[in-house]
Amino acid sequence: MSIKNTKMIIFIGVLAVVFSMGYCLFFGNPIDKYKARIRAEKYLTDKYRGVEFNIKNLKYDFIYGKYYGKVIFEKQKDMPFTVYITKSGIYDNYEDIKRRLKIEKYKSEVIEPLIKKQVNEVRAITIGPVPSIDSNLKSGDIIAADVNWEISIYYQENAFSSWEEFTDKCVQVKDIFMENDILFSRISFTYGDSNSVIELVIDDDNCQMLPQQLLEQIRVLKSKE
């Protein structure tokens, strides 16, 4: 074998090693991926006894060094969730997904019809977790979720002719929630146009706030612009 051929073989070998190392770094070791799937299947079988499931698209997160895959229950295909496989353990977000869907249903069936029927200026309503207390939520507990989630109200652009109108509507929405026992940690109200956007917040500490007090919030916010 000539020196030229030997160098070529060495070069190809080095290139293959580098490629393999790069592949394993970003996509995971195929053997570890297989082991991760076996671990995930055992975990799900033990946790959700008697439930048929499929694990799809098992991938490797090279930043956190863990595998994750989409899980679909055969009898609940409209609610996929994710299972995470790490070196130290396995966990999934099924309860979190179930809780979020329950909250979304509550929003669309209870909150939106109630508010939009009485406050025409509302453009959209969203519900999201308040980070500092979201971890304390009880899975599937709609009351606990209401208390610990932020309700965000977005008004239509140019819906009001003055900030007084805006604050009056904020208090009206807050009162509707309280009169109908819709509990909340806080409500945020967003209104404005391309030139200026204002966000006001009413939480359970200042739920008795009056329009005049909200106007003072606006003055403070505008002074910082």
Does the global pTM surpass 0.85? no
More confident residue, 221 or 138: 221
Listed by start position, the domains of the chain span 29-92, 96-223
Q: How far apart are CA 172 and CA 7, in angstroms?
A: 80
In this predicted model, what pLDDT tens digit does every residue of 124-182 receive, in sequence order?
999 877 654 444 433 334 434 444 678 899 999 888 888 888 888 998 998 898 888 88
Range scoring the smallest mean pLDDT among 12-21, 38-47, 100-109? 12-21
User: Residue 176 is encoded by which pair of tokens?
Assistant: 């509707």
Give 49-79 pLDDT, tens digit per residue.
999 999 998 988 878 788 899 999 998 888 8
Residue 49 is predicted with a pLDDT of 92
pLDDT of residue 41: 95
Q: What is the pLDDT of residue 9?
A: 52
Q: Which two tokens stand for residue 201?
A: 């917040």
Statement: residue 214 has pLDDT above 80: no
pLDDT for the residue 89: 92
Name every residue whose Cβ is closer than 8 Å to that of residue 150 and which is 6 or more positions away in sequence: 127, 128, 129, 130, 184, 185, 186, 187, 188
User: Could you write out the three-class secondary structure of 91-149?
Assistant: EECHHHHHHHHHHHHHHHHHHHHHHHHHCCCEEEEEEEECHHHHCCCCCCCHHHHHHCE
